[in-house]
Structure 1
Amino acid sequence: MLADDILSSFETNGPRSYFQFETFILNLLKFHIETEKKQFAISDSIRGIADAVAENGFDDFKGKTLIEITNSITRMPMKEFVDRMLYQLSRQDDLESVKNILIVTLRTIPAPTKAKIVSQVTNTYPAIEIFIWDSQDINKIINKHRKQANSIANNLFSLRLETAVSKSLGDWKKEREERLKELSDSYDRGQFAFFLGAGVSSSAGMPDWNTLLNSLFVSYLAKELSISQEDIKQIVNRLNEVDEPSALMAARYLRKGLSKERTEMREFTKIITENLYQLRDTQREINSDLLKSISNLCMPKRTGAKVRSVVTYNFDDLLERQLKNKSIQYHSIYSENEYYHPDELPIYHVHGFLPENPNGYEGLDKSTLVFSEEGYHQIYSEAYHWSNLVQLNNLREYNCLMVGLSMTDPNLRRLLDISARNLDKPRHFSLMRRMTKEKFIYSSESKSGDKKQVIADSKSAEEFLDKHHKLNEEIMKELGVSIIWFNEFDEIPPLLNKLINNA
């Protein structure tokens, strides 16, 4: 494989091609530097600028050399690139020991542009020498190690996984604080949006998907069969246990059966709404700490609104109630061609809206209720469906924080992939639950409640979990998302409160 062919394979846009390029360069430089009997280490810190460190330099680089791999030089104004670089340098650990910084980029950079970047950075950090390698410089290293370069290029996937799991395991809580600080900076700049999922509503006792489906099955079967509600519940629960039908398929079945008249959708929506709010666990506070934290972040500050919009996949109006209680102006949007006042916070219900009291809203019948396969497929297949455009716009314009989302929805992942095509670093964040060692190694016995150890080697299990979480982070990075880990759900409100405190 020729050097130009190798580099051209990374020319497609998006974080996936960027990470392939990064993996290629890291492994090529590792081989090149270690042939000189010099130290090379991939950086696992999220602070600062370095993707890798050559502690004792290499080639003509004398002393500690930081290596940063980027495509941003050609994808953003030069001033913005320099400002970001200076900011990263200000956060770099042990900067006084750094002698050189090598920036490696895929595309050819004109000499005057290189000179301007070097000049502006050295004006602030005169003790550090800045070097920029582009495709011409990379070709020299490839030609020097052709056999190894071809091997690396042909094994990028396995090398990427190997690199991810071989990184030294840092303190994930410390890394979380760094990500929260980065997120807080975007919140303070007013470049922030929420993406909210079922976990937010569950915090206030709203039913999960399967519970809602079970209740709707009961509502349908009670109309058709002369058996008791309790018997129906047992039948439905057992059916789910032995058959495990697709939730979307079950919803399609329900919708077809609940009403056979022309008013099918209206009747179906009414029954869903009734069940949705009747099933709420009243033992939980409807004004949950999580909803309070989210609404607090939506409160406009003296310098203006910090949260630009909210995208929610939930049907309910619990967030609207919180905002109303705090006298925060908002506008619920659940269909296309809706407009909001600049002083209002737009809340986009992209999967439909079912407020408990519908009298305060107009045009609810125009809402696309993504409850059945039909509704989901409609949105998934229509690239210009208003809900897709809303999500894409927010993902492109703002730094988005995803709360209460499992991140497994294929349409969301598709939209993240599309929006990340001009990025080489993640710009969004997702709060995700971390599997603890105790939950992984032990299982609860259903009858006695005692814990049973199901994995004998607890040390190996712990090491596996650490690598598993690291690999998940790498996978999410390809979608432009950084993970903010937590162990228990009650940790989320204090983490969100830090965004205000750090801003």
Structure 2
Amino acid sequence: YPHDVDKSNRRQFVQYIHQNNSTLRAIGAMCAQRIPETANYEANPHVAAIVNFNLDALLQTYIYARYHKRLVRTVERASAAPIKDKISVYQMHGYLAFGNQKGDSTVEAADAAVLTEQDYFDFFNQPNSLFNFTFLYLMREYPCCFIGLSMQDDNIRRLLHYSKKEQYNGLKSKGKGQPDTWRRQLMRHFVILEHTGDGPIDRAIEDTLRPLGVNVLWIKGFDEIPQRLGELYATTGDSWADVFE
């Protein structure tokens, strides 16, 4: 979008996203829930958190412009505490503001930006850092859906491995059930991936993600993502049309 987003052009910005980024539009809709018998929205209580690997706050900007309310809370550093009734958006690789907030150190987390390969190695070499700890916590407590990731990143795969191993050992120590039952219980995460066009390769991808507790939701093209997320949203009894249209 070529302009700063403010009150005067929010409608145009929302239209731009609707026309050019259906994935962002759908993720934003997942964060909203319409208040019955009103035109107002609140944060979707069925979404615990979002982990954002981008540096910008395009998602947050869109949600505010579309739903006229700050449904999410940007957590860009340890001092930014979550807020009740808002969905926390954890900016894993830092946060750079654009427009009139550019360079504002009270808003940005430019010092935490992960831009180089060396930064990336250092970032994941801090097991007790806010974001590594939070990522592990979220994977332990909630089913996660990965969108826009190839799942080939060794660091993310390692965290998935640690999370599943911890839960498996916990179930084993209780001594109830059988290993096959535990493994089925631990297949609780999902990733949306586009078909490669080669059946054996698709199956190989599934085989490498299964030990990490990740199920693959295959799509033919990324334009299918809104439909997939809409089906998930509707399982709670809420109307997808109320938040997506």
State if a TM-score over 0.5 links the two structures.
yes
Tell me how far apart the structure 2 counterparts of residues 346 and 376 of structure 1 sit (CA, whole Å): 22
- The answer as to 2:135 corresponding to 1:374 is no
Measured in 1, the distance between the counterparts of 2:146 and 2:155 equals 15
Match of 2:172 in 1: none
CA contact (8 A) 1:335 1:366 kept: no
1:298, 1:361 → 2: CA distance? Answer: 27
Q: Please tell me whether residue 496 in structure 1 is matched to residue 236 in structure 2.
A: no
Amino acid at match of 2:227: P
Matches within 5 A, 1:91-106: none
Q: What is the CA–CA distance in structure 2 between the aligned matches of 1:419 and 1:365, rounded to whole Å? A: 27
Where has structure 1 moved over 4 Å in runs of 4 or more? 301-304
Equivalent in the alignment of 1:286: 17
**2:180 is matched with which residue?**
none
Match of 2:178 in 1: none
| TM alignment of 1:352-501, pairs within 5 A | 352-357=94-99, 358=101, 362-365=106-109, 367-421=111-165, 422-423=167-168, 424-425=183-184, 426-436=187-197, 465-501=198-234
Q: Is the 8 A contact 2:194 2:221 kept in 1?
A: yes
Cα distance in 2 between the residues matched to 1:393 and 1:484:
23
Larger radius of gyration, structure 1 or 2? 1
Please, what TM-score do these two structures have when normalized by structure 2? 0.72
8 Å CA contact 2:53, 2:92 repeated in 1: yes
1:268-299: per-residue Cα shift (whole Å, max 9, x none)? Answer: xxxxxxxxxxxxxx9x9334221121111111
Contact 1:368-1:375 at 8 Å conserved across structures: no
Does the 8 A contact of 2:32 with 2:44 survive in 1?
Answer: no
Asked if 1 retains the 8 angstrom alpha-carbon contact of 2:17 and 2:25, the reply is no
Task: Call closer, same or farther: CA 1:385–1:467 in 2, change over 3 Å.
Answer: same
Work out which of the residue numbers 337, 340, 343 in structure 1 matches 2:82.
Answer: 340
Q: Deviations over 1:13-50 (max 9, x none)?
A: xxxxxxxxxxxxxxxxxxxxxxxxxxxxxxxxxxxxxx
Task: Name the amino acid aligned to 2:49.
Answer: S
The residue type equivalent to 1:339 in the other structure is: A
TM-score (norm 1): 0.36
Counterpart residue number, 2:62: 322
Q: 1:342 to 1:361 in 2, by over 3 A?
A: farther
SS in structure 1 of the partner of residue 51 of structure 2: strand
Is the 1:431–1:485 contact (alpha carbons within 8 Å) kept by the matching residues of 2? yes
Equivalent residue, structure 2, for 1:307:
47
Closer, same or farther: CA 487–304 of 1 in aligned 2, 3 Å: closer
Give the 3 Å change call, closer, same or farther, for CA 390–469 of structure 1 in structure 2.
same
Aligned-partner Cα distance in 2 for 1:305–1:322: 19
Is the contact between residue 335 and residue 367 of structure 1 (CA under 8 Å) also seen in structure 2? no
Q: In structure 1, what is the equivalent of residue 31 of structure 2? A: 298
Contact 1:430–1:482 (CA under 8 A) maintained in structure 2: yes
Contact 2:32-2:71 within 8 A present in 1 as well:
no
Structure 2 residue runs without a partner (length 5+): 3-12, 36-42, 169-182, 237-245
Count of residue pairs the alignment pairs up:
195
Q: Assess if the C-alpha contact under 8 Å between 1:312 and 1:347 holds in 2.
A: yes
Cα drift, residue 304 of structure 1: 5.9
Give the letter for the 1:353 counterpart: Y
Structure 2 SS opposite 1:430:
strand
> Does the CA contact (< 8 Å) of 1:379 and 1:387 recur in 2?
no
By how many angstroms is 1:353 displaced?
1.1
C-alpha displacement at 1:365, in angstroms? 4.2
Tell me which residue corresponds to 2:175. Answer: none
Residues 31 and 44, structure 2, Cα contact 8 Å, conserved in 1: no
Does structure 2 retain, via aligned residues, the 8 Å contact 1:299–1:328? no
Measure how far apart 1:337 and its partner are.
Answer: 2.9
Residue deviations 1:379-412, cap 9 Å, x none? Answer: 1211112111111111111110000001111211
- TM superposition shift of 1:502: 3.1
User: How many angstroms does 1:300 deviate by?
Assistant: 3.4
| Cα distance in structure 2, aligned partners of 1:367 and 1:393 | 24
Stretches of structure 1 lacking an aligned partner (at least 5 in a row):
1-203, 206-281, 437-464
CA contact (8 A) 2:31 2:71 kept: no
TM superposition shift of 1:371: 0.6
Contact 1:407 1:413 in 2 (8 A): yes
Structure-2 separation of matches of 1:502 and 1:341: 26
Mapped to 1, the partners of 2:95 and 2:110 lie a distance apart of 10
Deviation at 1:417, TM superposition (A): 0.7
- SS of 1:311's partner is strand
In structure 2, relative to structure 1, the CA distance for the partners of 1:489 and 1:387 (3 Å cut) is same
